[in-house]
Each structure stands twice: as structure tokens, then as C-alpha cells.
Copies of this chain bind each other. A is one copy, B any other.
Amino acid sequence: MINFDFYSPTKIFFGRNRESEIGRIIKQYGFKKVLLHYGQSSIKKSGLYDRIVSSLKEQGIAFVELGGVEPNPKVSLVRKAIQLAKAEQVDLVLAVGGGSVIDSSKATAVGACTDEDIWRFSLHELTPQKALPVGVILTISAAGSELSNSCVLTNSDNWLKRGFNSDIIRPLFAVMNPELTFSVSRYQTGCGIVDIMMHTLERYFTDTSDMELASHLAEGLLKAVMEAGKKAIADPNDYEARATLMLASSFSHNGLTGLGGKLYFTVHRLEHEISGMFDRVAHGAGLAVLFPAWAKYVYRHFTARFARFAYQVMDVSKSLTEEEAAYEGIIRLEAYFRQIGMPVRLSELDIDETSFEKMAEKALGQNDTLNGIIPLNKNQIIEIFEIAK
């Protein structure tokens, strides 16, 4: 293990109907005025918006609101949210939604405490020093942003997608009712399952040896997610499956499954260029395409680790050699992604080789190589895109 700090202070209020307690929860913390931040109109159609508003009013919590957060949340809307938060002097940003809304809220919480433009934090020109507290009512199990320290924005001026990490943006609390995810479409559920798995897979396939607790927890989490994933795709109203996915989304990205390991997130960085350039591509779908391709490119250099994954998580027979098992595990993972309705080739996302060079260049930015268990130069990144073609 390497030395590390771990900090996951978010309080979880989990279970049926917990969102109706939102007013009481906010009042207990002593907040007076909330910026209610959300995405599309679905929370109004479902009645969730009304339940939240009536709970806030009941407890005398003032609020202003800003909807319209899009998937791959845009820095332009964050700037509007920051203006509003400042003008109205809110003391809590309440995100009602999934990863995009939460990330937009985190950026707003930082921006509300500074005069600098928020995009400069995404470009790592500045480090956040202060942020308003963020509360979450989670409506989709995927990004894990409800417990994570990360925040990813997209700039539609240049279609760059960039993130920053800081412990000060970890949400103060997250209200998690699995029933709110019953209405998530099969496709979005599939994207979420991939996203959840990827936050652990990116931590699991690292080059730190001896991270046994994290490895065992990671394997357990992955097995739970894969089982629950199939059930939730088969029956969107399966409470227990939805509950498992929701909890797993949080604990897959709060640091737990990578304790003591080096963090690279190589595949995420490759994927950001896809969903950054092609706004139509859901993050989870991009990951489902890229991870198996990346794994096929690197596994021979980390056979033992990929074999362990195959044996422990993908139920690959121990009669296979490590090399055979390592590859078979990747193939089975790809098959699982397909089984839950995910694309596994770039062509299924209507992306062809004419974009590969530009995508590789964007992934590299100013650098010659992309960091990872095998550092990747431009040609190697293009080779991975070729495998994913």
C-alpha cells in the first residue's frame, strides 16, 4: 500500500420516502436559504419537485431555483447558477438529480465563494479554497458524485471536458431513495451500471501491489453490482436491486475500493474526449466501449491481476492458465456490458477512425503521454481506439 488520506464525510439518509424529510434535514443543519438545482423537467412530472418544495415550505426554508442542467454539465449554466447563488446569498446548494446536476452544484458551490471564473478550477489553474455546502437528493445511480470529491464540467466553446478534485466539495449529505430510480430508462440504467463498475475497475487495475482489503472490497462490490444490474434491467421496479446499485454508486467512488492504491483513471480520461466531443454520447456508454479495448491492450503486462479479476469476479474457471483467464475475464465483462444493453464498439456510437487522431490529441492535452499503469502516447491511444472500433 502507498500512504494516503481518506475522507468521506457525507451523511447518507437512505431508504423509502426519505426525500420527504428534506426540509427537516436542512433545518437541522441550520440552513436558511437554498439554491435548488436540477436538470430536465422530469422531476416536475414525477411529483418529486412538489414533494421537495412542500417539505421546504413546511419547515420555513427559503429557496431559489435553477433547472436545465444537461448531461455533461456545461460551464455556461454553472456561471448562471453562481450569479444566482451570490445574488440571493444562499447558504446551501441542493442538487436534485444525478452526476451532472451534482457536479454542476459542486462547481456552483465553489464559484459562489470566489470572484475567479469557475473554468479556471477545471483547468487546474486554481485550487478551490472554500465552497458552500452541497446537499443531494439522488435520482440516478451512476456517477457516485454524491460522495466523491470530483466535479467534471464541459465547456461548449471548445468542447473540452475537464474535472477537478477537492475534499471541500464532498457533499454534506445525500438523500438516497432507490424508488426515485425506478423510472430511469433501461439504457440509462445500463450506463449507470457501467459507470459504477468503472469507478472500482479503474482503482482495481492499478500497479500498486498489496492492497488486499481494497481488492477484496472491490471484488465484492463488483459482484453485487453485476447481480443487481441484471435484476434492475429485467425489472426496473426491483427495490432491492435498485438499492444495491444506489449504494454501490456511492461507495464505488468515495475512495473505499482503492484504499492504498495509486489512482490513474486512464480510461475515464480517454472517455472524456469522446463524450466531450460527441455530446450525444453518455459517459457510461463511452466507458463500456473503451474499457475492454484498453484492457485488451494492457492485460499482458499485468496478467496476474487480470487473472485474479477473472477468477474472483467473472467466474472464470481455475482450469484456465492465468494468461487465458485474464483475456477470458475481459471477454466476459464485454459480454456483460452487451447483456445489459450497452454498446461495446465505437461504431455503435457512430464514431469512426476519422476522429481518432483528434480524440487522442485532446486526451493528451499538453503532454506526450497519458499517465497510467502503462503510460500511453498518441499512437498507443489510437491503437486502443482501433481495438474499440
Residues of chain B within 8 A (CB-CB) of A13 are 5
Flag whether A228 is at the interface (Cβ < 8 A): yes
**In the complex, A337 Cα to B248 Cα: how many Å?**
31
Residues of chain B within 8 A (CB-CB) of A248 are 213
- Name the CB-closest residue of B to A4: B14
Q: Which of A71-79, A89-97, A107-115, A218-226 contacts B (4 or more CB under 8 A)?
A: A218-226
**Distance (Å) between the CB of A175 and the closest chain B CB?**
10
**In the complex, A228 Cα to B215 Cα: how many Å?**
13
Flag whether A210 is at the interface (Cβ < 8 A): yes
Flag whether A59 is at the interface (Cβ < 8 A): no
Contact (A247, B259) CB under 8 Å given A5-B14, A8-B8: yes
**In the complex, A210 Cα to B228 Cα: how many Å?**
11
Residues of chain B within 8 A (CB-CB) of A215 are 224
Chain copies in the assembled complex: 2
Task: Encode A237-256 as 1/0 by CB contact (under 8 A) with B.
Answer: 00010011001100100001
Contact (A251, B5) CB under 8 Å given A14-B260, A220-B220: no
Task: Encode A1-43 as 1/0 by CB contact (under 8 A) with B.
Answer: 1111111110111111010000000000000000000000000
Residues of chain B within 8 A (CB-CB) of A2 are 15
Contact for A227 among B7, B212, B218, B247, CB less than 8 A: B212
Q: Decide if A217 touches B221 in the complex (CB within 8 Å).
A: yes
- Name the CB-closest residue of B to A6: B12
Show the binding face of A for B, using Cβ within 8 Å. Answer: 1-9, 11-16, 18, 210, 212-213, 215-221, 223-224, 227-228, 240, 243-244, 247-248, 251, 256, 259-260
- Write 13 A-B pairs (CB below 8 A) sorted by A numbering: A1-B15, A1-B243, A2-B15, A3-B14, A4-B15, A6-B12, A7-B11, A212-B224, A212-B240, A213-B224, A216-B221, A216-B223, A217-B251
**Which 9 residue pairs spanning A and B have beta carbons closest together?**
A3-B15, A220-B220, A216-B220, A9-B9, A216-B224, A210-B240, A6-B12, A7-B11, A213-B224
